[in-house]
Structure 1
Amino acid sequence: MTGTAISASTLPLNNSFATLPPAFFTRLMPTPLPAPYFVAASAPAAALLGLDPARLADADFVELLSGNAVAERSKPLAAVYSGHQFGVWAGQLGDGRAILLGDIDTANGPLELQLKGAGATPYSRMGDGRAVLRSSIREFLCSEAMAALGIPTSRALAIMGSNQGVLRETMETAAVVTRMAPSFIRFGSFEHWASSRKTDELKILADYVLAQFYPELQAADNPYQALLAEVCQRTARLMAQWQAVGFMHGVMNTDNMSILGLTLDYGPFGFMEAFDGQHICNHTDQQGRYSYANQPKVGHWNCYALAQALLPLIDDLEGAQAAVDSYQSTFADSMNAQLRAKLGLLTEQPDDPALFDAMFGLMQANHVDFTQFFRALGNLQLAAPQLDAPLRDMFIDRDSFDAWAATYRARLQQENSVDAQRKLAMDRVNPKYVLRNYLAQVAIEKAQQHDYSEIARLLAVLQKPFDEQPEHQHYAALPPDWASHLEVSCSS
C-alpha cells in the first residue's frame, strides 16, 4: 500500500465486524459536521495504514474523517454493548457517538477506523453524539503518547474540527477524532448478550473474537476458558504498565475494557504528578472507585464480570475461576518486573517487594513528582552519595530518603551494578516526558483560538518520551501553580 495512491474515496476498507448478524450493530451514516477543518494528524498512526500524513489535511480526507463523506467500500455502523459503570449494572449502552467505518489490512493485521463524535446513534441515550475539541485533543495526544511509551492502546489518526457549538458545562465547539484499533470489542460486548441470556449470540461473538484475534486458542480443550484466561492476563499486564508510568484511566467501566487488552476510551485520564496513591483523576468519580491505587483491583473485578458473561460458554465454574485467578499472579509478576526495570535491577531478590513498598511509602509521604523521581533515580551513583542532592531535594524528609537510598545502594551492590549501564537501561523505561494535564490544557486553549501549532509540537515531544530532548526541557517541568485548579470529568 503506498500513501500517494490512496484517496479518501478509495480507502481500501473491509468490515469484518459487519459480517456478524444484524443484532450486533446498527448501520447508519455519520452526521455531517458543518464546515469541517483539519486540526491535527499523527504521522506514526498514518504510517500504520500506509497513508501520507500530509494528505490528511486535504479536502477529501477532511470530508471523510469528519463524517461528511463515506469511502466507497465503507459500511458505517454503530455497535451495541452493555456494561457496569462505576460498579453498577447500566444495561444497554453501545456506540453513542462512535461510528465504525471499516478496517484496513496492514502489515500487522487489520486496523479498524472509528469516528468518535460523528453524530447520534440509536445508542446515544439522549446524548447529541458529538465530541468537543477539548476532549478530542486529549484523546488524540494521549493515544499517541501511550503508544510511544510502549503501552497497548488504541491509536488516534487525526482530528477534524468545526465551529458548530456543542453544549457541555459551557458552550464548546465540535470535533471528530479518528481512532484505530484491531477491534473495539469490549468486556461489555459479552455482558450484553449474557445479561439477556442470548447464548447463541454470545457464542457467535466469542467465536468471532477467537477466529479473528486468538486463533491459537481455538484448539484448546475449552477455547472459551482459554480466551478468558488470556484476556485476564493481558488486562493484568496492562494494569501493571499503567501503574508503572503513573497513568490513571479514570473510567474503568466494563464497557471501556478492551477484549484485546488495549487502553481504550480516553476520557478523564491523568498522569500522576505529586504522588498520592489515592489520587482520583476523574472529578466525576466522587467515591474514588478508579483511584490510582484501586486500578489493579478494578481490573480484577472487571475480569470477574467478563467471566460471569462467558460462563454459559465455559460451562465450568472452577475453570472460569482458575482463569480469573491467573490475573493476580500475572499482575504481581508483571508489576514486580516493571519496578525492577524502573530501578535498574538486573536480578530478582526476596526482599525486593519490601524495597518497592518502602519507596512508594516515601513517595507518598513526600508527594514527590512521579515522573521526575524515577527519571532522576537513574542519575544515582553507587559510590557517591554526596552527589544525591538533586534527587534528595525532591523530598521534604531527606533523612528518610537517605535511609532508603542506602538500602537501594546495597541492593545494587549485590548485583555489581554499573552506574553508566544502569542509567541507560533506566532511561529506556522511565520517561522524561508524559502528557501532563497542564500541557494538554495549553494546547487546548491555543486550539480554541484556532492555533493548532502546540498540538503538533507537544505530539512531537511525546513521541520520543525517553529521549532527553534538551531543546524541549520545559515540557518536563513541574506543573505551574495555575494547573492545580485543573479538573477533568466524564463530560466530553
Structure 2
Amino acid sequence: MPDVPLPLTELAFDNRLAALGGGYAAQVRPAPLSRPRLLHANADVAALLDLDPAAFATATFTEVFAGNALLPGMAPIATLYAGHQFGTYVPQLGDGRAILLGQVRNARGESWDLQLKGAGQTPFSRFADGRAVLRSSVREYLAGEALHHLGIPTTRALSLVAGDDPVRRETIERAAVICRVAPSHIRFGHFEVFYYRDQHQRLAPLADHVIDEHFPHLRGAADRHARWLGEVIERTARLMAQWQSVGFCHGVMNTDNMSILGLTLDYGPYGFIDAFDAHHICNHSDDGGRYAYDRQPGIGLWNCSRLLQATLPLLHEDENEAVKIAEHLLERYGPAYSERVTALWRAKIGLREAREGDAELINRFLTLLHRGRADFTRSFRLLAQVASADGGDARALRDRLLAVEALDAWLPDYRARLRAEGSDDDAARAARMNAVNPKYVLRNHLAQRAIEDAERGSAGQIERLLTILRRPYDEQPEHEAYADEPPPEARHIEVSCSS
C-alpha cells in the first residue's frame, strides 16, 4: 500500500480485459440510480485498492458507485459468456446487470476488478431490467465478507448503494447497486460461448489474458493452457471441499457462476446449513435438488468437465488427442478434493494425524448429525468440549443431539482415536478445533434482519454483522446471541434465484 492512501480520483485504472476488443465485451454505460444513498462501504476492501476510506464521505463516491458518474480511466464494459444452467446449455448469457468499470492496479502490482452489479441494462440483459434489489444486494454484500473471513476464496464488495427506483421481482422492491471487487470475474462460461459458437480463435487470447494476469508462472510455456486448466480444476476441487466443511450451499452452481480463479462467485440463494441435512437444498427454485449440499462436489467435477470441453481446441489440434489430455486433467479433481476435504474434516474433529479409518469415523459423526438434524455449526464447537477420557464429560453435545444412542456408540471410538495420536490434552485440542470450526456464520435469519434494517434506511445490522463475521472463530461473548440457532419463526426462510 502507498505511504498515503489515495483519493478516489487518483485510482490507477489498467483496463486490460477491455483491451481484448469487442468480441469479448460490449461498451456500456451504467444507468443512473434515483436518489442514491450510500448504505455501507468497506474499508478493508478499500485498502486492497489503496483507496483512502475518507472518500466514503464524499458525494462523488456515492455517485460513482451508484452508476451515476465515471472516474477518469474507467472503461465500462459488459462481458459476453454462455453457460450450462441446471444442466442445460444456454448459448448466450453475459453480464445482464453487471458492468465492469475497469481494473485498478495497486502499489503491490495487484489488479482488482471493480464491477457494479445492478447498474442497469446491457446488450446481454435479455429483456430483463438490469437491476438488483436491495434484499439480494445486502445478502451478497455480507456473504463475500463472511466467506473471506472463514478463509474461503471469494469475491468481495466495496460499497452498497440504495436507490428509489422500483424493481419488480415477486413484489415491487427498491433497487440497489453493489461494487463487487475480485482479481477477476471471468467464468467458465466465458470460454463456453466461443467454443459452442465455433469461434475457437477467441479462446487463446482470453486464456492467455487469464494466465498473464493470474497465473504468471505459466507465461510463455508451450504447455501453458493444459497446466493452467489443471490448476483451475484443482482450485475448484479445493473450493468445493471448503464449502462442504463449513456447511455452505451455493444454490446455483451453473457453469456461468463458476470462477476461473476458484473463487466463490455470484451469491444468490446461498445458505449456511442450520439443522444438518446432507441433502439440504438451499434454493427454493431448485425443484430437483441438482445443487443440494451433498451434490456440490460432484457438480464441481461436472462443471470442470464442461470447461475442459470448451477448451479442447487449446489442448491439441487433433481432437482425439485433446480429449485424452482433457480426461487426464479431469482426473486431478478427485484427489485434490479428497485430500483437502479429508484434511479439513480431520481438523474439525480435532485430529492431527492421518490414519486409516478416519474417513469412517468422520462419516459416522456426520451421519448422526444428519439423523438428528443437529445444528451443523454449533455441533462442532460442542464436540470440542467433549473430554477424551473414557466416560468423560460430553453433556453439552449430548444435550443438543437427538441421535444420542448413535453418539454414545461413536464416542468410545472417537476417544480411542484421540488418545492413539496423543490428542488427549483436552484444552489444546479444543483450542485447535475452535480455530477451524466457526462459532459465527451468516445464517439466513441474520441476513434477513440486516435486510429489514436496510429497508428502513439503517446499516446498523450490516455493520454489526460485519464486525462479528470478521472474527468468526472467536467467542465474542458480547455477541453470543448471533451464534444461536434460528428461532422457530425463522427456520423456514426460503431463498430463490431472485435472492
Cα deviation per residue 1:78-107 (whole Å; 9 max; x = unaligned)? 100000000100111000000111111233
Helix, strand or coil: the match of 2:127?
coil
For the 8 Å contact 1:158–1:178, the answer to whether it is kept is yes
1:176 equivalent in structure 2: 177
Q: Which amino acid aligns with 1:422?
A: R
Q: Which amino acid aligns with 1:295?
A: Q
1:475 equivalent in structure 2: 482
Aligned residues: 492
1:436 equivalent in structure 2: 443
Partners in 2 of 1:54 and 1:324 — Cα distance?
47
Structure 2 stretches lacking a partner, 5+ long = 317-321
Structure 1 runs (4+) deviating above 6 angstroms are none
Partners in 1 of 2:433 and 2:5 — Cα distance?
42
Helix, strand or coil: the match of 2:239?
helix
Partners in 2 of 1:284 and 1:148 — Cα distance?
28
2:315 equivalent in structure 1: 314
Cα deviation per residue 1:369-415 (whole Å; 9 max; x = unaligned)? 00001111111221264421111112113121011111111110111
Cα deviation per residue 1:248-301 (whole Å; 9 max; x = unaligned)? 000000000000000000010000110001110001111000000000000000
Matched, 1:490 2:497: yes
Helix, strand or coil: the match of 2:290?
coil
1:303 equivalent in structure 2: 304
TM-score (norm 1): 0.98
- Give how far 1:217 is off: 2.3
For the 8 Å contact 2:15–2:75, the answer to whether it is kept is yes
Structure 1 stretches lacking a partner, 5+ long = none
Matched, 1:86 2:86: yes
For the 8 Å contact 1:4–1:51, the answer to whether it is kept is no
TM-score (norm 2): 0.96
Q: Which amino acid aligns with 1:452?
A: A
Q: Which amino acid aligns with 2:10?
A: T
Cα deviation per residue 1:411-458 (whole Å; 9 max; x = unaligned)? 101111121211111111100000000000011111111122111111
1:376-391 matched pairs, under 5 angstroms: 376-383=382-389, 385-391=391-397
2:455 equivalent in structure 1: 448
Partners in 1 of 2:435 and 2:54 — Cα distance?
30
Partners in 2 of 1:227 and 1:361 — Cα distance?
37
Matched, 1:146 2:152: no
1:186-265 matched pairs, under 5 angstroms: 186-218=187-219, 220-265=221-266
1:67 equivalent in structure 2: 67
Matched, 1:356 2:362: yes
Q: Which amino acid aligns with 2:394?
A: D
- Give how far 1:110 is off: 0.7
Partners in 2 of 1:384 and 1:35 — Cα distance?
65
Cα deviation per residue 1:118-155 (whole Å; 9 max; x = unaligned)? 10000011110100100000000000110000000011
Partners in 1 of 2:255 and 2:403 — Cα distance?
41
- In the alignment, which of 412, 416, 426 is matched to residue 410 of structure 1? 416
For the 8 Å contact 1:236–1:299, the answer to whether it is kept is yes
User: Does 52-61 or 91-100 show the bigger shift?
Assistant: 52-61
Q: Which amino acid aligns with 2:488?
A: D
For the 8 Å contact 1:9–1:60, the answer to whether it is kept is no
For the 8 Å contact 2:7–2:52, the answer to whether it is kept is no
- Give how far 1:58 is off: 2.2
Partners in 1 of 2:101 and 2:364 — Cα distance?
49
Partners in 2 of 1:51 and 1:454 — Cα distance?
25
Partners in 2 of 1:160 and 1:11 — Cα distance?
20
Matched, 1:323 2:329: yes
Shift in CA distance, 203/329, structure 1 to aligned 2, threshold 3 Å? same
For the 8 Å contact 1:3–1:51, the answer to whether it is kept is no
2:344 equivalent in structure 1: 338
Partners in 2 of 1:307 and 1:443 — Cα distance?
40
Partners in 1 of 2:194 and 2:471 — Cα distance?
42
1:8 equivalent in structure 2: 8
For the 8 Å contact 2:369–2:403, the answer to whether it is kept is no
1:115 equivalent in structure 2: 116
Partners in 2 of 1:213 and 1:229 — Cα distance?
14
1:137 equivalent in structure 2: 138
Instruction: Percent identity, please.
Output: 49
For the 8 Å contact 2:5–2:50, the answer to whether it is kept is no
Matched, 1:457 2:464: yes
Structure 1 vs Structure 2 CA RMSD? 1.4
2:319 equivalent in structure 1: none
For the 8 Å contact 2:386–2:392, the answer to whether it is kept is no
Q: Which amino acid aligns with 2:307?
A: L
- Give how far 1:54 is off: 4.5
For the 8 Å contact 1:7–1:60, the answer to whether it is kept is no
For the 8 Å contact 2:276–2:373, the answer to whether it is kept is yes
Cα deviation per residue 1:7-41 (whole Å; 9 max; x = unaligned)? 33333222111110211001111001011001112
Helix, strand or coil: the match of 2:418?
helix
Shift in CA distance, 285/455, structure 1 to aligned 2, threshold 3 Å? same
For the 8 Å contact 2:390–2:412, the answer to whether it is kept is no
1:7-26 matched pairs, under 5 angstroms: 7-26=7-26
Partners in 1 of 2:490 and 2:436 — Cα distance?
26
Partners in 1 of 2:24 and 2:416 — Cα distance?
58
Shift in CA distance, 28/3, structure 1 to aligned 2, threshold 3 Å? farther
